[in-house]
Amino acid sequence: MNAMRSRMFLAAMMLAIPAASAQEIAPVPDLSGWWEGPGFDLAPPENGGPGPVTNASGNIQWPEGDYKNPILRPDAAAQVKFWAEESHAGRAPPHAHALCLPTSVPGVMTLHQGYAFLQQNDKVTMVIANQGQVRHVYLNVPHSKDVKPSWYGESVGHYEGDTLVIDTVGIKTRDVVPFDRFGTPHTEKLHVVERIRRVSPREIRIDYHIEDPGVFTKPFDASLTFHPFKEGFGEDPCSENNTDPFSGEPVKGMPMDLHPAF
């Protein structure tokens, strides 16, 4: 009788466990390995809704942003048009990536070379081979009361089933740190939500929801798709090999050490 009562008690306790507890012990998605994205630009949404500025030139090496995209407010459209005209004339506008400065979110996720997602209980660290950049995503915590602007912003995240959800605010604003390589500006109100999941053994997808009422007429969606990257992490000293794609000369404003070490 006592054994039967014990089994009944345990069964009742199992039924009483809240759903949240089961979710807490559920396995998180495995994002391990080296991954490579498509490079350069966010993909517009498949459903044809509002989307990011795209390359109107059709040439991946000569980017000219579509400044007629209705997502842009007039001042932002004017800046994208200026960058397009400068690029068309063979003048590369100053950009954080070309100046060996950190690339902001979401642009840092559109670079060539490899990405690694190092998953821990309290954080996810993204190692980005291009220029040796690193992003930190802190799990299951709220945003700071007063967010201090930084290159990658403040990223907090949590898991929803098979998806890592990341919320980023506080991305630094500077003339050389546009939203993308088309010169699209952003303000301190930029808010980026990333939903990262492994859709197959050889594919990771990041879905974006982006808003910035100071630049965009409405929130919009975009995506990136990553596949396995075989080369791994190598040295990529930016200031030693970064040149203007038009002139072949070192990018103006880039930090350089002209004195030999030995």
Task: State both tokens at 179.
Answer: 């939203």
State the pLDDT at residue 7: 44
pLDDT at res. 80: 95
pLDDT digit string, tens, across residues 211-256: 999 999 999 999 999 999 987 676 766 766 566 655 666 666 655 5
Residues of the chain with pLDDT under 70: 1-26, 232, 234, 236-237, 239-262
Beta strands 154-160; 191-200: pairing state:
unpaired
What's the pTM value of the predicted model, to 2 decimals? 0.82
Are 83 and 77 a contacting pair, CB within 8 Å? no
CA distances, 114 to each of 121, 137, 200, 234 (Å):
23, 18, 18, 9
- The type of residue at 226 is F
pLDDT of res. 3? 46
CA dist 39 and 103 (Å) reads: 13
Q: Determine which helix (DSSP H) or strand (DSSP E) holds 135, and give its type and residue range.
A: strand 133-139
| Complete domains list, the chain, with CATH | 28-229 (2.40.128.20)
The sign one gets for the Cα dihedral 227, 232, 238, 244 is: negative
184, 79 in Cβ contact below 8 A? Answer: yes
Handedness of CA 47, 48, 50, 51 (dihedral sign): positive
Please give the Cα distance from 226 to 70 (Å, whole number): 28
Buried b / exposed e over 227-236, threshold 16 CB at 10 Å, is eebeeeeeee
